Amino acid sequence: MELGRHIEAARAFLMLDMGDDALEELEAAGAAHRNDPDVLELKAAILMRRKDWASALRILEFLCRALPFSGDHFMHAAFCLHEMRRTREAKERLLAGPSTLKKRALYHYNLACYEAQLGDLPAARLALDRAFAMDDSFRAVAREDRDLAPLREMA
């Protein structure tokens, strides 16, 4: 079976929340594809779904170095760091991403969460307002997000 079919099958398993099967499918692609970016991205997604933040972070940090212009790796690595209670590092990782990330509402939303948790509420408000301006659907998410509680308490 070619790599593309293994990846498609692994994605399907992941969508069905069958992480073990997804990982087995990636392994079946063979050692020659073990470091393929598509394989690594999918493996990191599986690990994040399992909340295995440290293992996912190792893969994502490798991808950040190997593909420095791919913003998703930086956002996902930052999220892992934040979930590991390393929020200052999460903010730094996010800010180290390519400038194209700033065109995405999720970037500003995540930055707002990190700033709020770090206690810089004016910066958090500014980032959150940018996220809302880019995608108003984040308002509903923000109402329930525990990371943004310090902003709600300020209001």
User: pLDDT tens for residues 59-71?
Assistant: 999 999 999 998 9
Q: Is 31 within the bounds of a domain? A: no
Average pLDDT, the chain: 91
Predicted pLDDT at 72: 94
Predicted pLDDT at 123: 97
Residue 151's domain comprises: 104-155
Joined together, the tokens standing for residue 84 give 């590991």
Q: Is 119 within the bounds of a domain? A: yes
Q: Is 28 within the bounds of a domain? A: no
Q: Is 128 within the bounds of a domain? A: yes
Q: Is the pLDDT of residue 23 over 90?
A: no
What angle is formed at CA 12 by the lines to CA 11 and CA 16, rounded to 5 degrees?
115
Q: Is 141 within the bounds of a domain? A: yes
Predicted pLDDT at 12: 83
Separation between Cα atoms, residue 113 and residue 91, nearest integer Å: 9
Q: Is 120 within the bounds of a domain? A: yes
Separation between Cα atoms, residue 77 and residue 34, nearest integer Å: 20
Could you give the number of structural domains in the chain? 1
Q: What pTM did the predictor assign?
A: 0.88
Q: Is 84 within the bounds of a domain? A: no
**What tens digit of pLDDT does each residue of 133-154 get?**
999 999 999 999 999 999 988 7
**What tens digit of pLDDT does each residue of 32-59 get?**
677 888 889 999 999 999 999 999 999 9
